[in-house]
Amino acid sequence: MTAPLVAGLVAGYGIAVPVGAVGTYLVSLTARTSLRTGACAALGVASADGLYALLAMAGGSALAAALRPVLVPLRWASALVLIALAVLGTVAAVRRYRGHQLATRPDPPPPGPGRAYLGLLGITLLNPTTVVYFAALVLGAGSAGTARPLEQGVFVLAAFAASASWQLLLAGGGALLGRALTGHRGRLATALASSGVMVALAVRMLVAPG
């Protein structure tokens, strides 16, 4: 039982540790809201990773083959969603900053924990790289069709736990950042930085070969 546990932890950290647009958005969201909201958003990301790990273990080669024909459209859809989020985030941040300076309207209410969870879950589920990553790991290890249900369950839970621990660490960092950057200029800077990374990741996604 140790092998699927270690494999799941490695798989979970492998997909979670590289901080891309989702990780940056998670830090920025926590910095602008609260640790509770950020933790729920972090669990949303981890839930998507765990779901894809479950699909990869259950589907194996059939899942990878089914997704291959639509990988390019999914990549375009994911990139367009990231760009839209970046634009909306930038516009909202600039409006909040100007609205505060002109004292004409208050900041809109931040998303609650439930909305943050569902939002990050949906954003992460749009990324086809995650399911291809887990499918490749399972197929490469030759365990998709030979692992027992208990071993598959251990793998999925370990992958979820690894992803959740890393995402919660990012949320904690966002909470500390939020305490340091309490002014409106700091919030504008974090929002603009998050939007910039989202656009960069979307462009890289579109120009990637295959």
Tell me whether residue 191 is in a domain. no
Q: Which of 72, 102, 85 is nearest to 207 (CA)?
A: 72
Q: Tell whether 104 is covered by a domain.
A: no
30 within a domain of the structure (yes/no): yes
Kindly state whether residue 136 falls inside one of the protein's structural domains. Answer: yes
Residue 180 confidence (pLDDT): 58
Residue 162 in domain? yes
Residue 199 maps to a domain: no
What is the structure's pLDDT at 136? 58
- What's the CA dihedral at 139, 21, 171, 116 to 10 degrees? -90
**Helical ranges in the chain per DSSP H:** 2-16, 21-32, 35-59, 61-67, 71-102, 113-125, 128-141, 149-180, 184-207
Q: What is the mean pLDDT of each run of 10 residues along the chain (210 residues)?
A: 78 69 80 88 92 75 60 70 77 77 53 90 77 58 58 86 90 75 62 72 66
Is the residue at 146 inside a domain?
yes
pLDDT of residue 182: 43
- Give the domain extent around 177: 2-79+112-181
Please report the pLDDT score of residue 103 as a whole number.
Answer: 44
Q: Where do we find the tokens 């589907």?
A: 59
CA distance 64 to 134: 10
Measured in whole angstroms, how far is the alpha carbon of residue 136 from the centre of its chain?
Answer: 19
How many domains does the structure of the chain reveal? 1
Residue 209 is given by DSSP the state -
> Does 177 reside within a domain?
yes
Per-residue HEC secondary structure of 13-61 comes to: HHHHCCCCHHHHHHHHHHHHCCHHHHHHHHHHHHHHHHHHHHHHHHHCH
